[in-house]
């Protein structure tokens, strides 16, 4: 694929990512993706011959890598486990607030809407969550309960993001940070 094709594909993925993060699977109709990306309709079918689920799945993975990269950066910053979790919650809270409370978790809405009905999208969501869980578990390495804690922290963060978005407030994130602190002590 040439540079122009790669740029068009990237625009389609970026537009889809933005649309699914703010409106979920059903908020990312193909017409909306084409309009938001400025790409020709034919390019959509050329780059994503398997259709919308392929496009959304790749966008979920892309968003997951972006958040995962931020988590990895924080994990390698020399922070204590508690400081690390607080920094992750701060990053996600900033992201949510800066988007006008529209961008919570880039995976959750698609997982809730589609995991039961689309195997490819369930697999994409599962991959992203597993990657985040692995990053948390690696940061908690050395603790005998690292695997359980990683799942617990991820679940608490996901719930806090949902509540923060619903309340348009960072308070749920702060409360969860305190409870995670208690778990890590």
Judge whether residue 135 has pLDDT over 80.
yes
Measured between alpha carbons, how far is 62 from 141 in angstroms, rounded to an integer? 26
How much is the CA Rg of the chain, to the nearest whole Å? 17
In tens, the pLDDT along 140-153 reads 888 999 999 999 99
Confidence of residue 139 (pLDDT cuts 50, 70, 90): confident
Span 20-48, average pLDDT: 94
Token reading at 151: 């799942």
Measured between alpha carbons, how far is 62 from 122 in angstroms, rounded to an integer? 15
Looking at the chain, how many residues does it have? 185
Select from 3.40.50.300, 3.30.420.40, 3.80.30.20, 1.10.357.10 the CATH code of 56-184.
1.10.357.10
Measured between alpha carbons, how far is 98 from 71 in angstroms, rounded to an integer? 18
Per-residue DSSP letter, 173: H
In tens, the pLDDT along 150-171 reads 999 999 999 999 999 999 999 9
Measured between alpha carbons, how far is 169 from 161 in angstroms, rounded to an integer? 10
In tens, the pLDDT along 67-119 reads 989 888 888 888 888 898 899 999 999 999 999 999 888 899 999 999 999 99
Measured between alpha carbons, how far is 106 from 92 in angstroms, rounded to an integer? 10
Q: What is the mean pLDDT of the chain?
A: 93
């Amino acid at each position: 694929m040439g540079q122009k094709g790669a740029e068009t594909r990237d625009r389609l993925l970026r537009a889809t990512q933005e649309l699914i993060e703010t409106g979920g699977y059903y908020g990312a109709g193909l017409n909306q993706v084409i309009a938001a990306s400025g790409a020709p309709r034919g390019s959509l079918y050329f780059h994503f011959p398997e259709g919308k689920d392929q496009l959304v799945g790749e966008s979920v993975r892309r968003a997951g890598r972006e958040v995962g990269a931020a988590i990895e950066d924080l994990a390698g910053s020399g922070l204590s486990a508690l400081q690390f979790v607080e920094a992750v919650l701060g990053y996600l809270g900033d992201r949510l607030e800066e988007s006008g409370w529209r961008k919570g978790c880039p995976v959750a809405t698609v997982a809730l809407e589609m995991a039961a009905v689309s195997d490819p999208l369930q697999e994409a969501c599962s991959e992203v969550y597993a990657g985040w869980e692995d990053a948390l578990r690696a940061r908690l390495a050395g603790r005998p309960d690292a695997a359980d804690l990683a799942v617990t922290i991820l679940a608490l963060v996901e719930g806090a993001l949902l509540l923060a978005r619903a309340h348009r407030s960072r308070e749920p994130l702060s409360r969860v940070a305190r409870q995670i602190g208690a778990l890590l002590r």
